[in-house]
Amino acid sequence: MKDAMRAEPTASDGSPKAPRRPTIGVFDSGFGGLTVLKALLELVPDADYVYFGDTARLPYGSKSVETVGRYAVEAAHYLESHGAQMLVIACNTATALALDRITSAAHVPVVGVIEPGAEAAALSTKNQKIVVIGTDATVSSHAYRTALEARGLSAREKACPLLVPLVEEGWVEHAVTEQVAHIYLTEAFADGFRNADTMVLGCTHYPLLKSLLRRVTPDHVNIVDSAETTARAVASHLGQLVPAAGQEERRALPRMKFFATDSVEKFRRLGERFLGHPIVDVQHVDLKE
């Protein structure tokens, strides 16, 4: 995979040439994948990004395998046609339901969010018991359970469908959200999983609720953010983890181009909350069914 991303070590006259910055395509059903892009910007600043948010067709979390697969493949092709040399499927639902289909349809390397999340959970746990929270579709697919069981871990998956709309409403520190999260997590950390020591945030929106979730999760539990772990997986694929501060100057800031299938204005407004940076270059895309 690294070889696919490295190019032109020398110019035609044989003189050393600066390595070309890779273009990474990031796909999500909407705004949530911007949490993964945010983590990527920190860990892999030496790249350019094209982001596709399928805002006209979200949520994916309540849709079927067939529909999510078809939408995700269209988006993957769109990103490739805009120069993506690698695809990051930032959406947990699309990864859970369609990673194999996307990987077979794509012509470039594809990284999903579930394997990195499961790997981080495996490194975190001491008692092999993991709670995963996500959308209905992610939980019904049991993709996290499969990935965790393959590492010898037991998993309880808990669907928390109300959390996505609450985050999109901006209620990330709201008493209602706290109460909803408390109800979900009380159900998740029960019976055989009362002492689970690791919880995976298996949805793009949940990193925005990290401090609220910290308050309602038992103190002994380590929270794994799949946005961060996915960015680390991409960084190691690219072999370009950021050097320690001060050791090497950073090159130009990443260029970012965004595509959204619904309102550009709404993407900009909501997206900035997820990304934590201004969103400037957004283009509307009309994907024909």
Question: Do the Cβ atoms of 132 and 198 come closer than 8 Å?
Answer: no
Buried b (16+ CB within 10 A) or exposed e, 241-263: eeeeeeeeeeeeebebbbbbbbe
User: Is the Cβ of residue 22 or residue 49 nearer to ligand DGL in the bound state?
Assistant: 49
Catalytic residue among 76, 86, 87, 91: 91
- 222 bridge partner residues: 198
User: Is the Cβ of residue 103 or residue 128 nearer to ligand DGL in the bound state?
Assistant: 103
- Residue 16 is given by DSSP the state B
Question: Do the Cβ atoms of 9 and 16 come closer than 8 Å?
Answer: yes
Residue nearest to ligand DGL (CB): 61
**Minimum Å distance from CB 58 to ligand DGL?**
4
**Minimum Å distance from CB 30 to ligand DGL?**
6
**Minimum Å distance from CB 276 to ligand DGL?**
17
Tokens representing 285 are 């895309």
Catalytic residue among 203, 227, 231, 275: 203
User: Is the Cβ of residue 153 or residue 227 nearer to ligand DGL in the bound state?
Assistant: 227
- 154 bridge partner residues: 129
**Minimum Å distance from CB 159 to ligand DGL?**
10
User: Is the Cβ of residue 22 or residue 116 nearer to ligand DGL in the bound state?
Assistant: 116
User: Is the Cβ of residue 164 or residue 238 nearer to ligand DGL in the bound state?
Assistant: 164
Residue type, 49: Y
* Cα–Cα distance, 57 to 74 (Å, whole number): 12
- 134 bridge partner residues: 159, 202
Q: Identify the residue whose tokens are 């796909």.
A: 27
Tokens representing 107 are 């012509």
Residues that bind ligand DGL (CB under 6 A): 28-30, 32, 58-61, 91-93, 134-135, 138, 164, 203-205
DSSP collapsed to 3 states, 95-112: HHHHHHHHHHHCCCCEEC
User: Is the Cβ of residue 28 or residue 225 nearer to ligand DGL in the bound state?
Assistant: 28
> Residue 202 — φ and ψ, nearest 5°?
-95, 40
Tokens representing 44 are 């892999």
> Could you confirm whether 203 is annotated as catalytic?
yes
Q: Which residues form the catalytic set? A: 91, 203
